[in-house]
Structure 1
């Protein structure tokens, strides 16, 4: 699988999306993907959005394959100064470490184009690189993962997440999500030993992600891509 991900990285590009046209493209992809999985009801607007997209600690990252948007992930960096995020609205007790000075990463609205998925490209791994690289760039202590029960085994196997809180209704989704967490600084070495392609890949320049510096986040670097 690692070699398949490396091959896909050579054909993809990561970009930070903050302009309205780019965000609408992501919101339409979210709607398409979540509707295909029957996680939301049909809506004539054809978009999936919420107020969390507009928060100061939010970063939307897109994955383009051969010039076409094929996946996206939304990130929120939670700190003592900015304790709000989508998942902490549903699981507020998971934010206690931020009150004590740690940085929490909350990745949400993970989506892969259902049509592109049929091509056999490991798009889910390309998207999962986003939170992994974000934990490095932003010096994150804890990563959260709100997931459906059928995805728990995958997160445990590849990313060493552990169950934290049981299923709850989650922000307009028809299917409940449960919360997993990872102490990323303790787990990163083991994760990357198993799947090096999830981390920095210096020999493939386009595999880097140009994360922005955020004033309220404890970042090691304000200019270098992860």
Structure 2
């Protein structure tokens, strides 16, 4: 008898079924973060992108910045993949891509553009073959971020052998050829897509990339923003209750 996981793994057309099983979790606790840092190490080590390390973890200075969100992607309660989403603005300019390709990105930030920078996209090397849909499910977080933050540009730091996938699926174009990045043994290039111009084309081809405003808010709204929104709602309700009825 096949397990529920086995029954779900077929063509990409069934990814919408997997959405009922996927759990996107923002890494908040030290334990959640450490599990993801260890996953990064195992994934990078398997593909020869990092050297062996006794710490068996990969993290950097961008993980805990206020403009970064690190997610674990869980299926059937198990961590399968992870991605970190950084949002770049004229005020917040720190991310992997901004460091490696600053001469390309900073002029755009100077013009007031909003850029979503997904990085540290990794999948469990022992589980990834069970779900060929996993890259789509994981990178869906980048699309949700682009919508939530009204991004002008969506990025991808990509090794040369993976660029065809991003070009075919997400309609990205290469805007910088591969170069070495600190901490990695293989060069990465920079790809990008004009999100407002391309999003509907991607949504038409892959409807599971769509999301609701509620889902996006639950994932990307910070605690302080949520508290402020709740306070505004309470204040509005209080003012309304003070208006005498006619």
Using the size of structure 2 for normalisation, the TM-score is: 0.82
User: Once the 2 structures are TM-superposed, how far is the Cα of residue 18 of structure 1 from its aligned partner?
Assistant: 2.1
Which has the larger Rg? 2
Which residue of 168, 190, 212 maps to 2:220? 212
1:59 aligned onto 2:66: no
Which residue of 19, 23, 37 maps to 2:33? 23
Structure 1: runs of 5 or more not aligned:
none
Instruction: Describe the superposition over 1:163-212 as per-residue Cα deviations: whole angstroms up to 9, x where unpaired.
Output: 1011110121111001111110100000111111122279xx9x767223
Partner secondary structure for residue 115 of structure 1? coil
Question: May I ask how many residue pairs the two structures share in their alignment?
Answer: 215
1:87 aligned onto 2:97: yes
Structure 2: runs of 5 or more not aligned:
1-10, 231-246
Indicate if the aligned counterparts of 1:14 and 1:208 stay in contact, CA closer than 8 A: no
Q: Distance in 2 between matches of 1:77 and 1:164?
A: 18
Instruction: Describe the superposition over 1:117-162 as per-residue Cα deviations: whole angstroms up to 9, x where unpaired.
Output: 1213411111110101110111111111110111111101110100
Q: Distance in 2 between matches of 1:126 and 1:208?
A: 14
More RCO (CA 8 Å, sep 6+): 1
Query: Residues 40 and 209 from structure 1, CA distance in 2 versus in 1: closer, same or farther, beyond 3 angstroms?
Result: farther
Q: Distance in 2 between matches of 1:171 and 1:130?
A: 25
Q: Distance in 2 between matches of 1:127 and 1:171?
A: 24
Q: Distance in 2 between matches of 1:137 and 1:201?
A: 10
Per residue, is there more helix in 1 or in 2?
2
Q: Distance in 2 between matches of 1:94 and 1:64?
A: 34
Which residue of 21, 29, 45 maps to 1:35? 45
Which residue does the alignment assign to 2:240? none
TM superposition outliers: structure 1 runs of 4+ over 4 Å: none
Indicate if the aligned counterparts of 1:149 and 1:178 stay in contact, CA closer than 8 A: yes
Q: Distance in 1 between matches of 2:39 and 2:190?
A: 24
Indicate if the aligned counterparts of 1:57 and 1:214 stay in contact, CA closer than 8 A: no
Q: Distance in 1 between matches of 2:216 and 2:97?
A: 26
Q: Distance in 2 between matches of 1:184 and 1:60?
A: 21
Using the size of structure 1 for normalisation, the TM-score is: 0.88
